[in-house]
Amino acid sequence: MPERARVSSAHISPSAHYTGYVWYRHQLSDPTFVTPFGRFVHRLLWPLSWGARAGFGLDIERLLLQRHLQIDALLRKAIEQDGVCQVVEIACGLSPRGRRFRQRYPHVRYVEADLPAMAARKRLLLREAGWLSLEHQVRSVDILAERGAHGLASLFAELDHRRPLLVITEGLVNYFPLAVVEAFWTRLAEQLRGFAEASYVTDLYPDLREHPRYRQLRWGVELIGRLTRGSYPLHYRDHAEIVAGFQRCGFRQAQVLDPDTDSASLGLEPARAPGLVRVIQARV
């Protein structure tokens, strides 16, 4: 059976409510993006995240903040220093980033995209808040679609191919087996090559076997998989494998960032244990 046929995304969307609430709790978001379900799940998982932090030193919210703030920092730099004026955020969920960046950089066109149901929800929230405009839109996309209305080609067709573009995914790729992720990245790189200048930023949880908390991490990942009735595979063993993976997919260059090294500039406490998340910036 082809990999595509065995993969489903349906179980993933609820997690966007949880992260949406985490961004709000940490003053990164607006009440507009908070849902009762997000609040409920956060309360439900609180004993678990408290236990992981107290018992194993695994701080789930810190992990989320690291990736979110590191991606923000890269986006700010891309806009201020590299002239990026178009952003596409795939798997936007209930993330406030589009709203925050549109407020700060009104000249930037921001297209948020997600599976149709989540996209419809986000569009409604933005419209009701009066924030939807020609320069801030929400589109339907399915990263598993090879073609058609929800494929990547349709999403990028409406953008200006002569102007610099940055594409973001956050909290998406580790929900899928590596072959599926690399097929998506290959299709993405193909689209990005159609632009005068384009790059891609994503978070990634590598399979860091030498990490002192590796066993607890595997246990946590297994538990999250069971709770969300999906799986959460870890990809690549080290930075060299990550870079090779991106190059295999058609990216010319990939830079792997460890948010631990930027804790101070990201406004986070210094790390107490080596971090688990990486943020990648790849160019075509």
Ligand X SMILES: C[S@@+](CC[C@H](N)C(=O)[O-])C[C@H]1O[C@@H](n2cnc3c(N)ncnc32)[C@H](O)[C@@H]1O
Residues 112, 170, 182, 260: which binds ligand X (CB under 6 A)? 170
CA distance 169 to 90: 5
Residue 38 sits in the site that holds ligand X (CB under 6 A): no
Residue 169, helix vs strand vs coil: strand
Under DSSP, the state recorded for 228 is T
Q: Which of 77, 19, 12 is nearest to 229 (CA)?
A: 12
Residue 112 sits in the site that holds ligand X (CB under 6 A): no
Residue 221 sits in the site that holds ligand X (CB under 6 A): no
Stretch that binds ligand X, among 35-43, 124-132, 139-147, 242-250 (CB under 6 A): 139-147
The conformational region for residue 162 under phi > 0 = left, psi -120 to 50 = alpha, else beta, is alpha
- DSSP conformation letters of 177-200: -HHHHHHHHHHHHHHHTTSSSEEE
Query: C-alpha angle with apex 91: 89 to 273, nearest 5 degrees?
Result: 95
> In angstroms, what is the minimal distance from the CB of 210 to ligand X?
26
> In angstroms, what is the minimal distance from the CB of 261 to ligand X?
21
CA distance 150 to 11: 18
Residues 88, 115, 167, 181: which binds ligand X (CB under 6 A)? 115
Query: C-alpha angle with apex 268: 225 to 107, nearest 5 degrees?
Result: 90
Stretch that binds ligand X, among 45-53, 54-62, 156-164, 169-177 (CB under 6 A): 169-177
> In angstroms, what is the minimal distance from the CB of 134 to ligand X?
23
Residue 42, helix vs strand vs coil: helix
Letters for 9-28 (x = contact with ligand X by CB under 6 A, - = none) are x--xx-xx--xx--------
Residue 114 sits in the site that holds ligand X (CB under 6 A): yes
> In angstroms, what is the minimal distance from the CB of 42 to ligand X?
13
Residues 38, 98, 151, 171: which binds ligand X (CB under 6 A)? 171
CA distance 151 to 259: 31
Q: How many residues bind ligand X (CB under 6 A)?
A: 22
Q: Which of 174, 120, 166, 121 is nearest to 143 (CA)?
A: 174
Stretch that binds ligand X, among 6-14, 186-194, 244-252, 270-278 (CB under 6 A): 6-14
Q: Between residue 185 and residue 204, which ones bind ligand X under the rule CB under 6 A?
A: none
Residue numbers of the site for ligand X (CB under 6 A)? Answer: 9, 12-13, 15-16, 19-20, 90-93, 95, 114-115, 118, 141-144, 170-172
